[in-house]
Structure 1
Amino acid sequence: MESLGSRIKQLRLRAKLNKAALARKVGVSDVTISYWESGAIKQIGHERLVALAESLDCSLATLLEGDSAPLLLTLSHEGPLPWEQVQSTAMTVPDHLPLKANWKAPCIMVTPAPDSDFAPAKPGDLLLLGPTHVFHKSGLYLVEQHDKRHLKQLSKATSDVTIQAVLLAHWRSA
């Protein structure tokens, strides 16, 4: 599996940018770019990941998973869950992602469907969801309530919702 650092370097070279030019676009030093590419810095905050993807003229999915990134599925209030869809591809959590929960099981990357309300996420954002029916720890969960799905902050297990997934990471689109 290709590392995030080598993917950043490959995408930078594809975009015909040197480290200094990419650093200016992202708002970091060229030393930081070197550290990212070498793997000396393994976790990159979501604001920087979004800025990197924009600067490298690629999608967040391509930046995080490479050109073989699984098809990005949409999250909707009704219908099959993303991981139940025929074209879904579960992935293991890459080591370089800062997660909101310790997660070792397969997960899936989605974006909210157009005209949907999954606040605080909006269409175009990327969400990394860990399918589960169990409360793990305080955080945002994809829940079903009154036959409709929502992202809901849970601080404890509750019987008024059906847990479908835990939100592992959220990247805001520009």
Structure 2
Amino acid sequence: MESLGSRIKQLRLRAKLNKAALARNVGVSDVTISYWESGAIKQIGHERLVALAEALDCSLATLLEGDSAPQMLTLHHEGPLPWEQVQSTALTVPEHLPLKANWKAPCMMVTPAPGSDFAPAAPGDLLLLGPTRVFHKAGLYLVEQDGKLQLKQLSKANSDMTIQAVLLAHWKAA
């Protein structure tokens, strides 16, 4: 599996940018770019990831997963869950992602469907969901309540809703 650092370098070269130009576009030093590319810095905050994707003229999914990134699944209030959709592909959590939960099982990268309301996520944002039926710890969960899927902040299990997934990471669209 290709590392995030080598992917940043590959995308930088494809965009015909030197480290200094990329650093200016992202708002960091060229030394930071070198550390990212070498893997000396493994975790990058979501604001910097979004800025990197924009500067490299690629999607956040391509930056995180490479050109073989799974097709982006859309999250709807009704209908099949993203991992039940025909084109779904589970992925293992890349080690360079800062997650809100310790997660070792396969997960899904999705985006809210246009016209949907999955606050705090908006259409175009990327969500990393860990399919589960159990409450793990306080956080945002994808739950089914009254026949509709919603993102809800849970501090404990709630009997009037069915847990479908835990939100592992959320990246705002640029």
Alignment match, 2:76: 76
DSSP-derived class of the 1:44 partner? coil
State the partner residue of 2:25. Answer: 25
How far apart, CA to CA, are the structure 2 residues paired with 1:127 and 1:158?
22
Alignment of 1:11-160 (within 5 A): 11-160=11-160
- 2-structure distance, mates of 1:85, 1:23: 38
Structure 1 segments, 4+ long, off by >3 Å, are none
TM-score for the superposition, normalised by structure 1: 1.00
Which secondary structure state, in structure 2, belongs to the residue aligned with residue 34 of structure 1? helix
What is the one-letter code of the residue matched to 2:74?
Answer: T
State the AA in 1 paired with 2:115.
Answer: D
Question: Which stretches in structure 2 are left out of the alignment for 5+ residues?
Answer: none
User: What is the number of equivalent residue pairs in this alignment?
Assistant: 174
SS for the counterpart of 1:67 is coil
Q: Secondary structure at the match of 1:150?
A: strand
Separation in 2 of the partners of 1:143 and 1:157?
11
* Deviation for aligned residue 1:160: 1.3
RMSD: 0.3
Shift of 1:121: 0.1
Letter in 1 for 2:139: G
Name the % identity: 89
Question: How big is the shift at 1:84?
Answer: 0.3
Query: CA offset at residue 32 of structure 1?
Result: 0.5
In structure 1, the gaps of 5 or more residues are none
